[in-house]
Structure 1
Amino acid sequence: MISYILGEWFTLSLMAIALGMDAFSVSLGMGMIGLRLRRIAMIGLLIGLFHVIMPFIGMLLGNILSKQFGSFAVLMGGILLIVLGIQMFINSFSKEEDTSLVRGFGLLIFAFTVSLDSFSVGLSLGMSGVHTIVALFLFGLASTILTWLGFLLAKKVSGILGSYSELIGGSILCAFGLQLIL
């Protein structure tokens, strides 16, 4: 019985890290715009919350929508990442620093986009009968920590790259969006 529980925790931990890697990758791109640590902390917590809410909704819906919504979620996530990347790319030519991508509605879109894949995973987990609370806790924790790491690493790199960092960040987001679509 203990080996089954440990195996489930290990599997869910690996799944949580895999889901959080999207947040890490995207935060590397978004982190190039130079944010304060307080904003980074808040964004990480919001993304962690979305990585709890989205799979929970997916688990509730279970088998009903899994086949129809899975590919749509990936497509929408890719399109939203490309839109965010293009906006960031365009903003890189502006003299003033624009942090609207990580404020208000832009932040909600950002958090929603990187958690779409966890919705699809939640759909499949809802059918398998895993411990919901454990899975949701691990998903939220991993995505929060990986988001923080991505932003902090990007913050260090952006100081080295200077004004080109936002251009590179937008390109990274577009590349991840295209990767999701293709």
Structure 2
Amino acid sequence: MSINQLGEFVSLSFMAIALGMDAFSVSLGMGMQRMRLKRIALIGVIIGLFHIIMPFIGMLLGQAISERIGYLTIIFGGSLLIIIGAQMVFSAFNREAIKIVQPIGMGLFFFALSVSFDSFSVGLSLGMSGVKTVIALLLFGSASMVLTWSGLLLGKKVHGLFGVYSEILGGSILFAFGLNVLFG
């Protein structure tokens, strides 16, 4: 492995961790809902797959449309996180409320999509740089999967400590993260 290849691998590794930190932060809040370990494992795998698929699509589209679509994905992803967070806080106060977004079915799809939008934008810019696509995608997917599992498991532990208030805390984290995505 040459110095250039090693440098590219280290850079991609740091980028993968940075992209996965979104998934960790959001998963920390989502993990405060009651979930089984089987569900946590599935969520991590799905988030990892989305962190492979989204940058791959971005790489295919290339940098030509990066500036136009990149802004829209940030608005959509941030708005979705705000809605999920607000719904979690609302349902903590109203126990009869039907949970709008659960990390199952379409809810899991929207959850995975919202935390992987940034990797789509990164893929747009990487598509023109000639980076090793397979290595980048595997690093992005594995880092986000492990960080998602970590966030969900840590959130599950916190839920055990704080009970009902953990859902308010989790929703607040998602809401704040969504605001940060939009305005940060």
Output the TM-score relative to the length of structure 2. 0.95
Q: Which amino acid aligns with 1:14?
A: F
Assess if the C-alpha contact under 8 Å between 1:33 and 1:99 holds in 2: no
Corresponding residue for residue 31 of structure 2: 31
Could you report, residue by residue, the CA deviation over 1:47-93 in whole angstroms, capped at 9, with x for unpaired residues?
A: 00000000000000002210111111111111000011111111112
- Alignment partners' CA distance in 2, 1:174 and 1:154: 15
Trace 1:79-94 onto structure 2 (pairs within 5 A).
Answer: 79-94=79-94
Matched-pair contact (CA < 8 Å) for 2:23–2:144: yes
Q: In the alignment, which residue of structure 1 is the partner of 2:19?
A: 19
TM-score under structure 1 length normalisation:
0.96
Q: Which residue of 1 aligns with 2:163?
A: 162
User: How far is the alpha carbon of 1:126 from its aligned partner?
Assistant: 0.1
Task: Tell me the distance in 2 between the aligned counterparts of 1:72 and 1:170.
Answer: 23
Matches for 1:110-149 after TM superposition, within 5 Å: 110-149=111-150
Moved over 4 A (4+): 96-100
Q: Is the 8 A contact 1:80 1:113 kept in 2?
A: yes
Shift of 1:99: 8.7
Measured in 1, the distance between the counterparts of 2:53 and 2:8 equals 20
Q: Structure 1 or 2: larger helix share? A: 1
Q: Is the 8 A contact 2:16 2:139 kept in 1?
A: yes
Identity of aligned residues (%): 60
How much is the aligned-residue C-alpha RMSD, in angstroms? Answer: 1.4
Deviations 1:12-69 (A, max 9, x none): 0000000000000000000000211000000000000000000000000002210111
Q: Could you tell which deviates more after superposition, 57-66 or 91-100?
A: 91-100
Task: Give the match's secondary structure for 1:156.
Answer: helix
Q: Distance in 1 between matches of 2:100 and 2:24?
A: 18
Q: What is the Cα deviation at residue 98 of structure 1? A: 4.8
* Unaligned stretches of 5+ residues in structure 1: none
Q: Which residue of 1 aligns with 2:77?
A: 77
Q: How far apart in 1 are the matches of 2:169 and 2:139?
A: 31
In structure 2, the gaps of 5 or more residues are none
Aligned length: 182
